[in-house]
């Protein structure tokens, strides 16, 4: 008869060793990204404070998600490797309208709940600063309809954790002339500017929620100044004419982003630019970027090559 005793002692032995070197690691000030899994003990709750991704049981701080342990002074957090977007005030997000409600829109922003865009936090036609009227309420669908994509900023949070957005800037608003790519939100880092223009005539909006808008380049002067505010163009549902070369550039950038995301490489504008140049140099079209060996080669040359 086989008994389980050898197994269980082995398990306990392993566990003890584990706690030991974890306790050591957390005291080290060397920045080593330490990986933890749900249910693993990190440290004692007497000496440390628990942060996100952890819970306290029996005076021990225990991880609840799989990810890397981060420590700021006495605060211990676990940053999950793959998770939904966690909004913070001031973040730039790209979202899609899911519902029109009285005086507000519901926006899907890849978060744990749909975001809210109040009628009072959008630019209304006929001047930026004006009171909203009942007539505006009645024609909300002329501004945003279900399915429309928009770029906005996180303004505040409601009591239940849902985020409230605003588009009170000429940079924000409805999106046209392009294509959406969805990648894991952790791959979008906070940058100085989330609006980028690539030299190939493509504009990029890197939403911190992992939604990325790739579109035809729009001249700066077209969207300048308070007088330049024109409700007709801002809330228009019609694309501008896009020529053949821009179309292929858009799809090439989109597929580069997809290839990088499939290899879990964080996205930056310099990396994208490098990747775009690589595809041009090697004469690779948008379609073949999706094949496995070409995307492998792309990632190897830009991430491993330098």
Binding residue for other proteins (CB under 8 A) from 23, 25, 70, 83? 83
Site mask, other proteins, residues 199-238, x = CB under 8 A?
----------------------------------------
Asked if 84 is part of the footprint of other proteins (rule: CB under 8 A), the reply reads yes
Binding residue for other proteins (CB under 8 A) from 19, 26, 49, 98? 98
Q: What is the dihedral of CA 289, 293, 295, 299, to 10 degrees?
A: -150
Asked if 193 is part of the footprint of other proteins (rule: CB under 8 A), the reply reads no
**Closer to other proteins at the Cβ: 1 or 138?**
1
Asked if 306 is part of the footprint of other proteins (rule: CB under 8 A), the reply reads yes
Asked if 39 is part of the footprint of other proteins (rule: CB under 8 A), the reply reads yes
Least distance in Å: CB of 230 to other proteins? 33
**Closer to other proteins at the Cβ: 141 or 189?**
189
Please give the residue ranges that form the binding site for other proteins (CB under 8 A): 1-4, 7-8, 11, 14, 33, 35, 37-39, 53, 55, 57, 62, 64-68, 80-84, 98, 106, 108, 112-114, 160-162, 182, 186-187, 189, 260, 263-266, 268, 270-271, 274, 302-304, 306
């Amino acid at each position: 008869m086989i008994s389980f005793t050898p197994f269980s002692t082995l398990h306990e032995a392993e566990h003890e060793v584990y706690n030991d070197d974890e306790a050591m690691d957390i005291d080290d000030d060397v920045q080593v990204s330490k990986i933890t899994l749900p249910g693993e003990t990190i440290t004692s709750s007497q000496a440390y404070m628990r942060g996100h991704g952890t819970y306290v049981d029996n005076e021990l701080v225990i991880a609840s998600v799989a990810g890397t342990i981060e420590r700021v002074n006495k605060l211990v957090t676990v940053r999950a490797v793959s998770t939904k977007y966690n909004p913070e005030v001031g973040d730039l997000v790209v979202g899609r309208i899911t519902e029109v409600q009285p005086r507000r829109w519901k926006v899907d922003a890849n978060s744990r709940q749909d975001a809210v865009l109040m009628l009072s936090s959008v630019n209304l036609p006929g001047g930026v600063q004006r009171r909203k009227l009942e007539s505006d309420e009645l024609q909300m669908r002329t501004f945003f309809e279900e399915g429309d994509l928009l770029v906005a900023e996180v303004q505040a949070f409601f009591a239940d954790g849902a985020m409230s957005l605003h588009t009170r800037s000429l940079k924000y608003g409805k999106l046209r002339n392009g294509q959406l790519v969805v990648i894991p939100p952790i791959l979008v880092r906070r940058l100085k500017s989330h609006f980028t223009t690539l030299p190939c005539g493509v504009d990029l909006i890197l939403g911190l929620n992992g939604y990325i808008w790739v579109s035809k380049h729009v001249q700066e002067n077209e969207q300048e100044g308070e007088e330049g505010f024109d409700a007709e163009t801002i809330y228009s549902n019609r694309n501008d004419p896009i020529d053949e070369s821009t179309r292929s550039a858009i799809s090439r950038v989109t597929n580069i982003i997809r290839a990088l995301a499939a290899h879990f490489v964080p996205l930056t504008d310099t990396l994208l630019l490098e990747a775009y140049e690589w595809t041009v140099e090697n004469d690779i079209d948008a379609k073949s970027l999706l094949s496995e060996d070409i995307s492998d080669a792309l990632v190897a040359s830009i991430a491993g090559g330098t």
